[in-house]
Structure 1
Amino acid sequence: MVQLFPRRVERSMTDLFSELAELLVQATDTHSRLLGHGYRERTRIAPVLHDQASRAEELCLRIAQRLAQSLITPYEAELLYDLALTLADTVAAMENTAELLVVSRVGALPTPLLEAAKGIERAAELTVVATWTLNRVRDMGDYYPQIRKLKRQGDRLVRQALGELYQRGGASTDLLPLRDITASMGRTIELQEHTGRLADLLRVKDA
Protein backbone atom coordinates (compact mmCIF):
# COMPACT_ATOMS: atom_id res chain seq x y z
CA MET A 1 0.00 0.00 0.00
CA VAL A 2 1.29 3.44 -0.92
CA GLN A 3 1.90 5.76 2.02
CA LEU A 4 0.46 9.20 1.32
CA PHE A 5 2.96 10.91 3.60
CA PRO A 6 6.66 10.19 4.16
CA ARG A 7 7.30 8.96 7.68
CA ARG A 8 9.30 12.06 8.59
CA VAL A 9 6.24 14.32 8.12
CA GLU A 10 3.41 11.82 8.54
CA ARG A 11 2.55 12.68 12.14
CA SER A 12 2.53 16.43 11.59
CA MET A 13 0.39 16.15 8.46
CA THR A 14 -2.23 13.83 9.94
CA ASP A 15 -2.28 15.88 13.14
CA LEU A 16 -3.03 19.03 11.16
CA PHE A 17 -5.91 17.39 9.31
CA SER A 18 -7.29 15.94 12.53
CA GLU A 19 -7.04 19.32 14.22
CA LEU A 20 -8.91 20.92 11.33
CA ALA A 21 -11.62 18.25 11.44
CA GLU A 22 -11.96 18.60 15.21
CA LEU A 23 -12.33 22.35 14.73
CA LEU A 24 -15.11 21.57 12.26
CA VAL A 25 -16.90 19.56 14.97
CA GLN A 26 -16.60 22.48 17.38
CA ALA A 27 -17.95 24.83 14.73
CA THR A 28 -20.97 22.61 14.02
CA ASP A 29 -21.78 22.64 17.73
CA THR A 30 -21.52 26.43 17.80
CA HIS A 31 -23.64 26.58 14.64
CA SER A 32 -26.41 24.46 16.19
CA ARG A 33 -26.45 26.50 19.40
CA LEU A 34 -26.67 29.71 17.40
CA LEU A 35 -29.59 28.44 15.31
CA GLY A 36 -31.54 27.46 18.40
CA HIS A 37 -31.32 30.82 20.18
CA GLY A 38 -32.82 34.26 19.68
CA TYR A 39 -31.16 37.44 18.47
CA ARG A 40 -29.41 38.44 21.70
CA GLU A 41 -27.73 35.07 22.19
CA ARG A 42 -26.86 34.87 18.51
CA THR A 43 -24.91 38.13 18.73
CA ARG A 44 -22.92 36.58 21.57
CA ILE A 45 -22.29 33.24 19.87
CA ALA A 46 -21.55 34.49 16.32
CA PRO A 47 -18.05 35.83 17.19
CA VAL A 48 -17.11 32.34 18.39
CA LEU A 49 -17.93 30.94 14.96
CA HIS A 50 -15.98 33.77 13.33
CA ASP A 51 -12.93 32.84 15.41
CA GLN A 52 -13.32 29.18 14.47
CA ALA A 53 -13.50 30.11 10.77
CA SER A 54 -10.30 32.18 11.11
CA ARG A 55 -8.50 29.29 12.83
CA ALA A 56 -9.66 26.92 10.08
CA GLU A 57 -8.11 29.19 7.45
CA GLU A 58 -4.85 29.26 9.39
CA LEU A 59 -4.77 25.47 9.60
CA CYS A 60 -5.50 25.22 5.89
CA LEU A 61 -2.49 27.43 5.18
CA ARG A 62 -0.28 25.31 7.42
CA ILE A 63 -1.42 22.18 5.60
CA ALA A 64 -0.63 23.80 2.24
CA GLN A 65 2.87 24.63 3.47
CA ARG A 66 3.37 21.06 4.70
CA LEU A 67 2.15 19.64 1.40
CA ALA A 68 4.71 21.76 -0.45
CA GLN A 69 7.43 20.00 1.57
CA SER A 70 6.07 16.46 1.29
CA LEU A 71 7.16 13.76 -1.12
CA ILE A 72 3.80 12.77 -2.58
CA THR A 73 2.45 12.85 -6.12
CA PRO A 74 0.94 16.08 -7.49
CA TYR A 75 -2.42 14.32 -7.80
CA GLU A 76 -2.43 13.32 -4.13
CA ALA A 77 -1.23 16.76 -3.09
CA GLU A 78 -4.06 18.39 -5.06
CA LEU A 79 -6.67 16.12 -3.48
CA LEU A 80 -5.34 16.74 0.01
CA TYR A 81 -5.17 20.49 -0.52
CA ASP A 82 -8.73 20.49 -1.87
CA LEU A 83 -9.77 18.47 1.17
CA ALA A 84 -8.24 21.03 3.54
CA LEU A 85 -9.82 23.91 1.64
CA THR A 86 -13.24 22.26 1.70
CA LEU A 87 -13.05 21.68 5.44
CA ALA A 88 -12.18 25.34 5.96
CA ASP A 89 -14.89 26.44 3.52
CA THR A 90 -17.44 24.42 5.49
CA VAL A 91 -16.66 26.37 8.64
CA ALA A 92 -16.81 29.59 6.62
CA ALA A 93 -20.24 28.60 5.29
CA MET A 94 -21.53 28.19 8.83
CA GLU A 95 -20.05 31.56 9.71
CA ASN A 96 -21.98 33.00 6.76
CA THR A 97 -25.19 31.53 8.15
CA ALA A 98 -24.43 33.10 11.51
CA GLU A 99 -23.87 36.51 9.94
CA LEU A 100 -27.15 36.28 8.03
CA LEU A 101 -29.01 35.38 11.22
CA VAL A 102 -27.56 38.31 13.13
CA VAL A 103 -27.92 40.90 10.37
CA SER A 104 -31.49 39.93 9.48
CA ARG A 105 -32.61 39.54 13.11
CA VAL A 106 -34.96 36.72 12.16
CA GLY A 107 -36.76 34.92 14.94
CA ALA A 108 -37.27 31.19 15.42
CA LEU A 109 -36.21 29.05 12.48
CA PRO A 110 -38.28 26.28 10.87
CA THR A 111 -37.87 22.98 12.70
CA PRO A 112 -36.43 21.19 9.63
CA LEU A 113 -33.44 23.56 9.70
CA LEU A 114 -32.73 22.69 13.32
CA GLU A 115 -32.89 19.01 12.37
CA ALA A 116 -30.58 19.66 9.41
CA ALA A 117 -28.08 21.22 11.81
CA LYS A 118 -27.97 17.94 13.75
CA GLY A 119 -27.11 16.12 10.52
CA ILE A 120 -24.31 18.64 9.90
CA GLU A 121 -22.94 17.83 13.36
CA ARG A 122 -23.07 14.10 12.66
CA ALA A 123 -21.25 14.50 9.34
CA ALA A 124 -18.50 16.46 11.10
CA GLU A 125 -18.09 13.69 13.68
CA LEU A 126 -17.70 11.12 10.91
CA THR A 127 -15.14 13.36 9.20
CA VAL A 128 -12.94 13.48 12.29
CA VAL A 129 -12.77 9.68 12.34
CA ALA A 130 -12.00 9.66 8.61
CA THR A 131 -9.02 12.02 9.05
CA TRP A 132 -7.50 9.56 11.50
CA THR A 133 -7.09 7.13 8.60
CA LEU A 134 -5.52 9.49 6.04
CA ASN A 135 -2.27 7.56 6.23
CA ARG A 136 -4.16 4.30 5.62
CA VAL A 137 -7.11 5.43 3.51
CA ARG A 138 -8.29 1.87 2.82
CA ASP A 139 -9.54 1.84 6.42
CA MET A 140 -12.10 4.62 5.81
CA GLY A 141 -14.77 1.99 5.28
CA ASP A 142 -18.24 3.36 4.60
CA TYR A 143 -17.44 6.98 5.48
CA TYR A 144 -18.55 8.36 2.12
CA PRO A 145 -21.80 6.33 1.92
CA GLN A 146 -22.72 7.62 5.37
CA ILE A 147 -21.98 11.19 4.29
CA ARG A 148 -24.08 10.66 1.16
CA LYS A 149 -26.97 9.46 3.31
CA LEU A 150 -26.71 12.54 5.52
CA LYS A 151 -26.56 14.71 2.39
CA ARG A 152 -29.84 13.28 1.13
CA GLN A 153 -31.46 13.77 4.53
CA GLY A 154 -30.15 17.32 4.73
CA ASP A 155 -31.39 18.17 1.24
CA ARG A 156 -34.83 16.87 2.13
CA LEU A 157 -34.95 18.95 5.32
CA VAL A 158 -33.86 22.07 3.44
CA ARG A 159 -36.67 21.51 0.95
CA GLN A 160 -39.14 21.07 3.81
CA ALA A 161 -37.95 24.31 5.39
CA LEU A 162 -38.43 26.16 2.11
CA GLY A 163 -41.88 24.63 1.73
CA GLU A 164 -42.88 25.81 5.20
CA LEU A 165 -41.47 29.22 4.46
CA TYR A 166 -43.49 29.70 1.28
CA GLN A 167 -46.65 28.30 2.85
CA ARG A 168 -46.31 30.77 5.69
CA GLY A 169 -46.26 33.68 3.28
CA GLY A 170 -45.80 37.25 4.39
CA ALA A 171 -43.74 40.23 3.34
CA SER A 172 -40.74 39.64 1.09
CA THR A 173 -38.58 41.48 3.63
CA ASP A 174 -39.32 38.61 6.04
CA LEU A 175 -39.14 35.77 3.54
CA LEU A 176 -35.91 36.67 1.75
CA PRO A 177 -33.61 36.54 4.83
CA LEU A 178 -34.98 33.11 5.77
CA ARG A 179 -34.53 31.91 2.20
CA ASP A 180 -30.91 33.09 2.24
CA ILE A 181 -30.29 31.39 5.59
CA THR A 182 -31.78 28.15 4.26
CA ALA A 183 -29.61 28.36 1.14
CA SER A 184 -26.53 28.96 3.29
CA MET A 185 -27.23 25.81 5.28
CA GLY A 186 -27.71 23.94 2.03
CA ARG A 187 -24.26 25.12 0.98
CA THR A 188 -22.77 23.73 4.22
CA ILE A 189 -24.36 20.36 3.50
CA GLU A 190 -22.97 20.38 -0.06
CA LEU A 191 -19.47 21.11 1.19
CA GLN A 192 -19.61 18.22 3.63
CA GLU A 193 -20.59 15.90 0.79
CA HIS A 194 -17.65 17.23 -1.24
CA THR A 195 -15.35 16.50 1.70
CA GLY A 196 -16.55 12.90 1.72
CA ARG A 197 -16.08 12.59 -2.03
CA LEU A 198 -12.49 13.83 -1.86
CA ALA A 199 -11.68 11.40 0.92
CA ASP A 200 -13.20 8.59 -1.12
CA LEU A 201 -11.11 9.57 -4.15
CA LEU A 202 -8.03 9.13 -1.98
CA ARG A 203 -9.29 5.69 -0.95
CA VAL A 204 -9.96 4.67 -4.56
CA LYS A 205 -6.54 5.98 -5.63
CA ASP A 206 -4.89 3.78 -3.04
CA ALA A 207 -6.97 0.68 -3.81
Structure 2
Amino acid sequence: MKLRLFPQEPAGLVLLAQLAGQILAATGTMSEILGAPASEHDRLAEELHEHESKSLDLHFALLTHMRTSFVNPLPREDMYALSRHLNDAMEKLDAAGELIALYKLDRLPKRAADQLEIISRQAELTVDAMQKLNNLDELEDYWIEMLRLAKRAERTHRVWVAEQLRDLKSAQYARHRDIADQLVDVTKEMRKVATQVGSIIVKES
Protein backbone atom coordinates (compact mmCIF):
# COMPACT_ATOMS: atom_id res chain seq x y z
CA MET A 1 0.00 0.00 0.00
CA LYS A 2 1.34 3.43 -0.91
CA LEU A 3 1.73 5.91 1.91
CA ARG A 4 0.46 9.44 1.24
CA LEU A 5 0.72 12.41 3.55
CA PHE A 6 -1.61 15.29 2.62
CA PRO A 7 -0.75 15.52 -1.11
CA GLN A 8 -3.22 18.42 -1.43
CA GLU A 9 -0.54 20.95 -0.33
CA PRO A 10 2.68 20.25 -2.32
CA ALA A 11 4.23 23.74 -2.10
CA GLY A 12 6.46 22.79 0.83
CA LEU A 13 7.87 19.84 -1.07
CA VAL A 14 8.58 22.09 -4.06
CA LEU A 15 10.55 24.45 -1.81
CA LEU A 16 12.52 21.54 -0.34
CA ALA A 17 13.33 20.30 -3.83
CA GLN A 18 14.46 23.80 -4.79
CA LEU A 19 16.73 23.90 -1.74
CA ALA A 20 18.37 20.65 -2.83
CA GLY A 21 18.56 22.07 -6.35
CA GLN A 22 20.60 25.01 -5.09
CA ILE A 23 23.17 22.57 -3.70
CA LEU A 24 23.28 20.75 -7.03
CA ALA A 25 23.78 24.04 -8.89
CA ALA A 26 26.48 25.07 -6.43
CA THR A 27 28.42 21.86 -7.09
CA GLY A 28 28.72 23.06 -10.69
CA THR A 29 30.27 26.31 -9.52
CA MET A 30 32.54 24.45 -7.12
CA SER A 31 33.66 22.21 -9.98
CA GLU A 32 34.67 25.35 -11.88
CA ILE A 33 36.64 26.54 -8.86
CA LEU A 34 38.56 23.26 -8.68
CA GLY A 35 39.56 23.60 -12.33
CA ALA A 36 40.19 27.35 -12.44
CA PRO A 37 43.37 29.33 -11.77
CA ALA A 38 43.51 31.27 -8.49
CA SER A 39 42.84 34.50 -10.39
CA GLU A 40 39.29 33.27 -11.10
CA HIS A 41 38.48 32.10 -7.58
CA ASP A 42 37.11 35.36 -6.20
CA ARG A 43 34.57 35.66 -9.02
CA LEU A 44 33.47 32.06 -8.68
CA ALA A 45 33.31 32.34 -4.90
CA GLU A 46 30.85 35.21 -5.39
CA GLU A 47 28.70 32.89 -7.51
CA LEU A 48 28.73 30.41 -4.65
CA HIS A 49 27.65 33.17 -2.26
CA GLU A 50 24.69 33.83 -4.55
CA HIS A 51 23.67 30.17 -4.34
CA GLU A 52 23.96 30.33 -0.55
CA SER A 53 21.83 33.49 -0.46
CA LYS A 54 19.12 31.85 -2.59
CA SER A 55 19.21 28.81 -0.32
CA LEU A 56 18.63 30.97 2.74
CA ASP A 57 15.75 32.75 0.99
CA LEU A 58 14.16 29.38 0.22
CA HIS A 59 14.63 28.27 3.83
CA PHE A 60 12.83 31.38 5.09
CA ALA A 61 10.13 30.96 2.43
CA LEU A 62 9.48 27.45 3.68
CA LEU A 63 9.21 28.67 7.28
CA THR A 64 6.70 31.30 6.17
CA HIS A 65 4.76 28.71 4.19
CA MET A 66 4.55 26.37 7.19
CA ARG A 67 3.27 29.16 9.43
CA THR A 68 0.59 30.28 6.99
CA SER A 69 -0.53 26.96 5.48
CA PHE A 70 -3.36 25.10 7.20
CA VAL A 71 -2.29 21.69 5.89
CA ASN A 72 1.36 20.82 5.28
CA PRO A 73 2.57 17.75 3.37
CA LEU A 74 4.58 16.61 6.43
CA PRO A 75 4.64 17.45 10.13
CA ARG A 76 6.14 20.90 10.57
CA GLU A 77 9.07 19.65 12.66
CA ASP A 78 10.11 17.25 9.88
CA MET A 79 9.88 19.90 7.17
CA TYR A 80 11.87 22.31 9.30
CA ALA A 81 14.60 19.72 9.97
CA LEU A 82 14.90 18.85 6.27
CA SER A 83 15.12 22.52 5.31
CA ARG A 84 17.67 23.30 8.02
CA HIS A 85 19.97 20.44 7.03
CA LEU A 86 19.79 21.40 3.35
CA ASN A 87 20.57 25.02 4.14
CA ASP A 88 23.44 23.99 6.45
CA ALA A 89 24.87 21.82 3.65
CA MET A 90 24.77 24.82 1.30
CA GLU A 91 26.51 27.02 3.89
CA LYS A 92 29.34 24.51 4.26
CA LEU A 93 29.77 24.13 0.51
CA ASP A 94 29.91 27.91 0.21
CA ALA A 95 32.52 28.02 2.97
CA ALA A 96 34.69 25.47 1.17
CA GLY A 97 34.72 27.60 -1.97
CA GLU A 98 35.46 30.74 0.00
CA LEU A 99 38.40 29.07 1.73
CA ILE A 100 39.89 28.04 -1.62
CA ALA A 101 39.69 31.68 -2.74
CA LEU A 102 41.06 33.06 0.54
CA TYR A 103 43.96 30.62 0.57
CA LYS A 104 44.65 31.29 -3.14
CA LEU A 105 45.11 27.59 -3.88
CA ASP A 106 45.87 26.89 -7.53
CA ARG A 107 45.25 23.18 -7.34
CA LEU A 108 43.59 20.72 -5.04
CA PRO A 109 44.16 16.97 -5.09
CA LYS A 110 41.84 14.54 -6.85
CA ARG A 111 40.23 13.73 -3.49
CA ALA A 112 38.49 17.12 -3.62
CA ALA A 113 36.89 16.22 -6.95
CA ASP A 114 35.93 12.83 -5.54
CA GLN A 115 34.12 14.48 -2.63
CA LEU A 116 32.41 16.95 -4.96
CA GLU A 117 31.19 14.07 -7.12
CA ILE A 118 29.64 12.47 -4.03
CA ILE A 119 27.98 15.75 -3.01
CA SER A 120 26.59 16.21 -6.53
CA ARG A 121 25.13 12.71 -6.51
CA GLN A 122 23.65 13.26 -3.05
CA ALA A 123 22.04 16.47 -4.26
CA GLU A 124 20.61 14.82 -7.39
CA LEU A 125 19.04 12.05 -5.33
CA THR A 126 17.70 14.53 -2.80
CA VAL A 127 16.05 16.78 -5.39
CA ASP A 128 14.11 13.74 -6.58
CA ALA A 129 13.38 12.51 -3.05
CA MET A 130 11.97 15.82 -1.84
CA GLN A 131 9.40 15.67 -4.64
CA LYS A 132 8.31 12.18 -3.52
CA LEU A 133 7.79 12.79 0.19
CA ASN A 134 4.05 12.31 -0.23
CA ASN A 135 4.70 8.77 -1.48
CA LEU A 136 7.11 7.27 1.02
CA ASP A 137 7.12 3.76 -0.51
CA GLU A 138 9.44 5.11 -3.21
CA LEU A 139 12.06 6.47 -0.79
CA GLU A 140 13.65 3.46 0.92
CA ASP A 141 16.20 3.10 -1.90
CA TYR A 142 17.05 6.80 -1.53
CA TRP A 143 17.66 6.40 2.18
CA ILE A 144 19.96 3.39 1.66
CA GLU A 145 21.92 4.94 -1.24
CA MET A 146 22.49 8.19 0.66
CA LEU A 147 23.94 6.28 3.60
CA ARG A 148 26.23 4.37 1.23
CA LEU A 149 27.45 7.62 -0.33
CA ALA A 150 28.06 9.15 3.10
CA LYS A 151 30.24 6.20 4.11
CA ARG A 152 32.19 6.57 0.87
CA ALA A 153 32.71 10.26 1.66
CA GLU A 154 34.03 9.44 5.13
CA ARG A 155 36.55 6.98 3.68
CA THR A 156 37.64 9.51 1.04
CA HIS A 157 38.13 12.12 3.76
CA ARG A 158 40.30 9.81 5.87
CA VAL A 159 42.52 8.95 2.89
CA TRP A 160 42.72 12.62 1.82
CA VAL A 161 43.79 13.77 5.28
CA ALA A 162 46.37 10.99 5.58
CA GLU A 163 47.86 11.89 2.19
CA GLN A 164 48.00 15.58 3.12
CA LEU A 165 49.71 14.84 6.40
CA ARG A 166 52.30 12.75 4.58
CA ASP A 167 52.94 15.07 1.62
CA LEU A 168 52.47 18.67 2.81
CA LYS A 169 54.23 21.03 5.15
CA SER A 170 52.32 22.10 8.25
CA ALA A 171 50.97 25.42 6.89
CA GLN A 172 49.86 23.84 3.61
CA TYR A 173 48.37 20.91 5.48
CA ALA A 174 46.27 23.22 7.66
CA ARG A 175 44.82 24.99 4.62
CA HIS A 176 43.98 21.79 2.77
CA ARG A 177 42.59 20.19 5.93
CA ASP A 178 40.17 23.11 6.37
CA ILE A 179 38.76 22.51 2.91
CA ALA A 180 38.64 18.74 3.32
CA ASP A 181 36.71 19.16 6.57
CA GLN A 182 34.20 21.55 5.01
CA LEU A 183 33.51 19.21 2.11
CA VAL A 184 33.00 16.14 4.27
CA ASP A 185 30.72 18.22 6.49
CA VAL A 186 28.54 18.89 3.43
CA THR A 187 28.14 15.14 2.94
CA LYS A 188 27.27 14.76 6.63
CA GLU A 189 24.50 17.33 6.37
CA MET A 190 23.14 15.55 3.30
CA ARG A 191 23.23 12.31 5.27
CA LYS A 192 21.17 14.02 7.98
CA VAL A 193 18.55 14.80 5.33
CA ALA A 194 18.38 11.11 4.43
CA THR A 195 18.28 10.11 8.10
CA GLN A 196 15.35 12.48 8.62
CA VAL A 197 13.59 10.90 5.64
CA GLY A 198 14.26 7.50 7.17
CA SER A 199 12.71 8.67 10.42
CA ILE A 200 9.62 9.85 8.52
CA ILE A 201 9.34 6.49 6.75
CA VAL A 202 9.52 4.62 10.07
CA LYS A 203 6.99 6.92 11.78
CA GLU A 204 4.48 6.65 8.95
CA SER A 205 4.87 2.92 8.20
TM-score in terms of structure 2 length: 0.92
- Contact 2:31 2:116 survives alignment (8 Å): yes
CA distance in 2, matches of 1:6, 1:152: 33
Shift of 1:59: 0.4
CA distance in 2, matches of 1:163, 1:52: 31
| Residue 49 in structure 1 maps to residue 48 in structure 2 | yes
TM-score in terms of structure 1 length: 0.91
- The within-5 A match list for 1:12-91 is 12-71=11-70, 76-91=75-90
Shift of 1:5: 3.9
Give the structure 2 partner of residue 195 of structure 1. Answer: 193
CA distance in 2, matches of 1:21, 1:113: 20
- The within-5 A match list for 1:168-183 is 168-170=167-169, 172-183=170-181
Three-state SS of the structure 2 residue aligned to 1:29 is helix
Larger displacement relative to structure 2 (173-182 or 122-131): 173-182
| Residue 124 in structure 1 maps to residue 160 in structure 2 | no
- Contact 1:21 1:127 survives alignment (8 Å): yes
The Cα offsets for residues 91-150 of structure 1, whole Å up to 9 and x where unpaired, read as 110100011111111231121121111011001000011011122223213101101111
- Contact 1:4 1:76 survives alignment (8 Å): no
Runs of 4+ in 1 over 3 A off after TM superposition: 1-6, 70-73
CA distance in 1, matches of 2:70, 2:204: 16
The Cα offsets for residues 175-196 of structure 1, whole Å up to 9 and x where unpaired, read as 2111111111111111011011
- The within-5 A match list for 1:150-165 is 150-165=149-164
Give the structure 2 partner of residue 147 of structure 1. Answer: 146
Shift of 1:152: 1.0
Shift of 1:33: 2.2
CA distance in 1, matches of 2:193, 2:162: 28
Give the structure 2 partner of residue 110 of structure 1. Answer: 109
Q: 5+ residue gaps in structure 1?
A: none
The Cα offsets for residues 8-33 of structure 1, whole Å up to 9 and x where unpaired, read as xx132222122222222111222222
- Contact 1:6 1:70 survives alignment (8 Å): no
- Contact 2:7 2:134 survives alignment (8 Å): no
Three-state SS of the structure 2 residue aligned to 1:134 is coil
Larger displacement relative to structure 2 (17-26 or 84-93): 17-26
CA RMSD of aligned residues (A): 1.8
CA distance in 2, matches of 1:23, 1:76: 23
CA distance in 2, matches of 1:2, 1:147: 21
CA distance in 1, matches of 2:153, 2:198: 20
The percentage of aligned residue pairs carrying the same residue is 26
Partner amino acid, structure 1, of 2:187: I
- Contact 2:115 2:184 survives alignment (8 Å): no
CA distance in 2, matches of 1:32, 1:192: 18
